[in-house]
Structure 1
Amino acid sequence: MSVPPYHVGMSDEITADQVRQELEDVEAELAELRRLEGDAQARRGQDTDSSEGYIEPEEIATELTGIAENEAIIDTLEQRRERLQERLKSLG
């Protein structure tokens, strides 16, 4: 789901506008992942219409794994955002 860094043709120079665009992309991806995480947290442990109050352990494990993976991606994107912000500062 992550967007690869911009590749700049023959020149290795990346402009401030390119870094800003990549930063905007990371921010949008973070917002979406946080929304999905909130939805998953809200659904966690809820009974389905057909359930009788019992949730299969496998279903719980799958939900928890998905939440943990999402949190790991968010952490990675936050680190990437920090690097981009620093790079943007250095570009002036």
Structure 2
Amino acid sequence: MAVMSEEMTAEQLRQRIADLDAEIAELRRLDGDAQARRGEDGAQSEGSVENEELATELTGIAENEAVIDVLTQRRESLEEKLRAAR
């Protein structure tokens, strides 16, 4: 019976890793979109981004990167648990 519960735990770990991979990929996509928008208002642009808007965007990008780092660390921890369960 212990083997079955270990397999379920390993499967749950694999599923959580897959979920984290999807979440990280989505955050990276959003980060790329935000970085691209930031570059749209260059020196030759007629419009200008207000300082407050720019600060908000930069803060959002930094926060997004911090979340990606935390999720990546969590993923690595789950991978270690999965290797130990084998």
TM-score (structure 2 length as normaliser): 0.82
Instruction: Let me know the Cα RMSD of the aligned residues.
Output: 1.6
4+ long deviations beyond 6 Å: none
**1:58-69 paired onto structure 2 within 5 Å:** 58-69=52-63
**TM-score, normalization: structure 1?**
0.77
Q: Give 1:26's match in structure 2, choosing from 20, 24, 44.
A: 20
- Structure-2 separation of matches of 1:72 and 1:62: 15
| Larger RCO (CA within 8 A; separation ≥ 6) | 2
Long gaps (5+) in structure 1: 1-12
**Is residue 2:65 matched to residue 1:71?**
yes
Q: Does 1:88 align with 2:82?
A: yes
Percent identity, aligned pairs only, is 68
Bigger radius of gyration, 1 or 2?
2
> 1:86: Cα distance to partner?
0.1
Q: Which has the higher helix share?
A: 2
* Separation in 1, partners of 2:10, 2:31: 31
Letter in 2 for 1:80: R
Could you tell me which runs of 5 or more consecutive residues in structure 2 were left unpaired when the two chains were aligned: 1-5
State how many pairs are aligned: 77
Q: For 2:11, give the aligned amino acid.
A: D
